[in-house]
Amino acid sequence: MHRALVTKPLMFLPSEKVTARRGSPTYRVMVMDPRGIYPRGVQRVPSGFFYADEDIAFSVVHGGDWADIVEDAPYSEFDWASPEELRLMASLVLCELRDEPYISLYPVVRYSPRLDANELDLTCPLTVHRVRELLLKTAAKTSSSFGQNALLRGVVTKKYTTISAERYGFDRLLAFWEALYDASFVFFRGIYTLIKADMLRQHYEFNEEAIGSLYIALDASFSLVKRHLQRLGIKDPSAYDAAVWLHEHFDAPFGLRAPDDTERYFGEFYEERVMTLHPSSRYGDLPYAPIMHDDIPHLRRSLREIFAYLLLGQHGQDFYRDLQEHLRRTSRPGCA
């Protein structure tokens, strides 16, 4: 007869121990809100994993704080995602496919427990199960309306929206995760604001703010494209140069017209962006933002794909699938 395997119950670190271990890597848990859209099952990277089912969605990563990697890091009350958590979330979002469901992450930003463990096998299915059970049991045992666990109880009482992992490009997950090791802070800021836009657009009354967040992501992508053009030898790339680059890599294969000399990078959003972010501008004084809800999916889809291309230097198979479909349609007799 074999001796039964005894596993030490998994617990959360008390707050005083979290403080004592500041500056050292810990196992961080980030719980997601049911208002997001999540890939079903588990997705793994070397430093952690993401898991979602209809009862809960969460991530676990092993890592430290921004202060551990950024010398003289500025004080902020909005650095709620640690470097490894943001790296994992960015990797997931970048795995979206054209015209397929979003990976719309909605982190519970004030709930960040640490696991009381010095070493965990993050590749083991049992670890995923143990963390899941710990979260659900903690929520079920919480009766107070105050404290961090009250936040957990408030979200896991609802069902989560999950989508089959087959509808995403997780074959590139590890490539994105590896490439993000050397990504700039501008790149991370761009992905961060895409995630914030996804959170904001779940609330109709804050869709204007969602577009504002996407404008930040747009500016981040513009900076990244200009840096890319500088590496290609263009000394001082302009908004027109960026528009030409965008056309060559994304629009020209589909037969769309090239930008003329007056066009800018995402120029169709330029005036609206100025008027939205500056109530008084050269376009006059406006009592409200001159924007539309449809701006959200247009920018959100486009920017995600641009970030993915800039990071890996290549399109995903979904781009070539759509291109082949476009060429098939346009090659039919009678098609323009």
| Same structural domain, 255 and 311 | yes
Burial of residue 18 (number of CB atoms within 10 Å: 0-12, 13-18, 19+)? middle
| Same structural domain, 208 and 165 | no
Q: Give the pLDDT confidence score for residue 146 in this predicted structure.
A: 66
Q: Is residue 138 part of a domain?
A: yes
Burial of residue 121 (number of CB atoms within 10 Å: 0-12, 13-18, 19+)? exposed
Q: Is residue 2 part of a domain?
A: no
Q: What is the pLDDT along the chain (336 residues), one digit of tens a residue?
A: 444 444 678 999 988 888 888 888 999 999 999 999 999 999 999 999 999 999 999 999 999 988 888 877 788 888 889 999 999 999 999 999 999 999 999 999 888 999 999 999 999 999 999 999 999 999 988 876 666 778 888 888 889 999 999 999 999 999 999 999 999 999 999 999 999 999 999 999 999 999 999 999 999 999 999 999 999 999 999 999 999 999 999 999 999 999 999 999 999 998 999 999 999 989 899 898 899 999 999 999 999 999 999 999 999 999 999 999 999 998 766 555
This prediction has a pTM of 0.92
Q: Is residue 283 part of a domain?
A: yes
Domain housing 61: 15-173
| Same structural domain, 169 and 212 | no
Tally of domains in the chain: 2
Q: Give the pLDDT confidence score for residue 6 in this predicted structure.
A: 47
Domain end marker among 126, 156, 173: 173
Q: Give the pLDDT confidence score for residue 71 in this predicted structure.
A: 79
Q: Is residue 193 part of a domain?
A: no
Q: Is residue 285 part of a domain?
A: yes
Q: Give the pLDDT confidence score for residue 149 in this predicted structure.
A: 78
Annotate 27-41 with b (16+ C-beta within 10 A) or e (fewer): bbbbbbbbebbbbbe
Q: Is residue 8 part of a domain?
A: no
For the chain, what's the residue count? Answer: 336
Whether residue 58 contacts residue 162, with contact meaning beta carbons closer than 8 Å, is answered with: no
Alpha carbon separation from 167 to 33, 160, 318 (Å, rounded):
21, 17, 11
| Same structural domain, 299 and 163 | no
Domain end marker among 173, 190, 220: 173
| Same structural domain, 85 and 230 | no
Q: Give the pLDDT confidence score for residue 80 in this predicted structure.
A: 86
| Same structural domain, 219 and 88 | no
d(CA 16, CA 44) in angstroms, rounded, equals: 30
Q: Give the pLDDT confidence score for residue 16 in this predicted structure.
A: 87
Q: Give the pLDDT confidence score for residue 299 in this predicted structure.
A: 97
**Short-list 176, 192, 171, CA closest to 303:** 192
Q: Give the pLDDT confidence score for residue 3 in this predicted structure.
A: 44
Hey, what are 108's tokens? 């519970």
**Short-list 271, 317, 272, 323, CA closest to 296:** 272
Hey, what are 318's tokens? 């979904």
Q: Is residue 182 part of a domain?
A: no
| Same structural domain, 90 and 159 | yes
Taking residue 166's Cβ as centre, other Cβ atoms within 10 Å add up to 10
Rg over CA atoms, the chain: 22
Hey, what are 219's tokens? 């500016």
| Same structural domain, 224 and 273 | yes
Q: Is residue 256 part of a domain?
A: yes
Whether residue 43 contacts residue 49, with contact meaning beta carbons closer than 8 Å, is answered with: yes
Burial of residue 43 (number of CB atoms within 10 Å: 0-12, 13-18, 19+)? buried
DSSP string, 262-293: T--TTGGGHHHHHHHH-SEETTEE-SS----T
Annotate 122-161 with b (16+ C-beta within 10 A) or e (fewer): beeeebbebbbebbeebbeebeeeeeebebbbbbbeeebb
Phi, psi of 175 (to 5 degrees): -65, -45
